[in-house]
Amino acid sequence: MSKERKDANKIDQSRRELLKVTVAGLLVGVTAPMFSHPSTTRAAETVTGGKKMLITYYSRTGNTREVANQIHQRVGGEIIELQTVNPYPEDYEELKKQAMQELKSGFKPELKIKVKEIGSYDVIFVGTPIWWGTMAAPVKSFLSRYDLSGKTIAPFITHAGSGLGQSVSDMAALCPHSRILDGLAVWGNRVHNAQENVSDWLHKINIYE
């Protein structure tokens, strides 16, 4: 075979190899997202320093639960809904009245859930609806029941206009030996579109590296 012919063959072969690599690369690029779970994988990779997370919240009508789930999708860890032994009234007016009385008297309802090994968590996300300008009473029960000294607390709340109100400062008063991060406030009627707010907040409080 002439030298020119041999060179031409070599070039053809290199082109074929390059084509194979490119096609393989494209296939990996196209198929990888089908098999991975972006939210969970990302959370596992990006949460700071392998810290152990607990997400706990109270929610009567589901708004705070929705935000809790969005946080959970991003950071992973345990998620626990707080429930009271005695349920609150279904009737909204009754509920408002009872919540106001409890606020005035400082009543803390008994909780059904007992969190095992609370000492093992580094970061505790605490979620609550705003009730009369502050956290709901069941969340007060949670913060009072457990010793959260030395823990980092990340508060998230849903509301109907008050924003954070006094919730974060009241949490700080109940947990004087915890580090309380900036809180996230989400309007109750916008929780289903809160993913971006949640992500921005997680970056702001350095939960993502």
Ligand X SMILES: Cc1cc2nc3c(=O)[nH]c(=O)nc-3n(C[C@H](O)[C@H](O)[C@H](O)COP(=O)(O)O)c2cc1C
Nearest distance from residue 107's CB to ligand X, in Å?
13
Using CB under 6 A, pick the residue from 64, 70, 152, 178 that binds ligand X.
Answer: 64
What does the alpha-carbon distance between residue 44 and residue 72 come to, in Å, rounded to a whole number? 11
151: contact with ligand X by CB under 6 A = no
Check if the beta carbon of residue 158 is closer than 8 Å to that of residue 186.
Answer: yes
State both tokens at 198.
Answer: 């949640």
Using CB under 6 A, pick the residue from 131, 142, 156, 201 that binds ligand X.
Answer: 131
What does the alpha-carbon distance between residue 196 and residue 65 come to, in Å, rounded to a whole number? 17
Q: What are phi and psi of 89, to 5 degrees?
A: -60, 145
Q: Which residue is nearest to ligand X (CB)?
A: 188
84: contact with ligand X by CB under 6 A = no
Nearer to ligand X, 4 or 93 (CB): 93
Q: What are phi and psi of 180, to 5 degrees?
A: -100, 120
158: contact with ligand X by CB under 6 A = yes
Using CB under 6 A, pick the residue from 15, 37, 96, 192 that binds ligand X.
Answer: 96
What does the alpha-carbon distance between residue 17 and residue 14 come to, in Å, rounded to a whole number? 5
Nearer to ligand X, 96 or 192 (CB): 96
For 5-37, the DSSP string reads: HHHHHHHHHHHHHHHHHHHHHHHHHHHHHHHS-
- Tracing tokens 């971006």 back to the chain, one arrives at 196
**Region of 17-25, 76-84, 93-101, 144-152 interacting with ligand X (CB under 6 A):** 93-101
105: contact with ligand X by CB under 6 A = no
Using CB under 6 A, pick the residue from 77, 109, 183, 188 that binds ligand X.
Answer: 188
Residue ranges in contact with ligand X by CB under 6 A: 59-64, 95-96, 99, 129-133, 158-162, 188
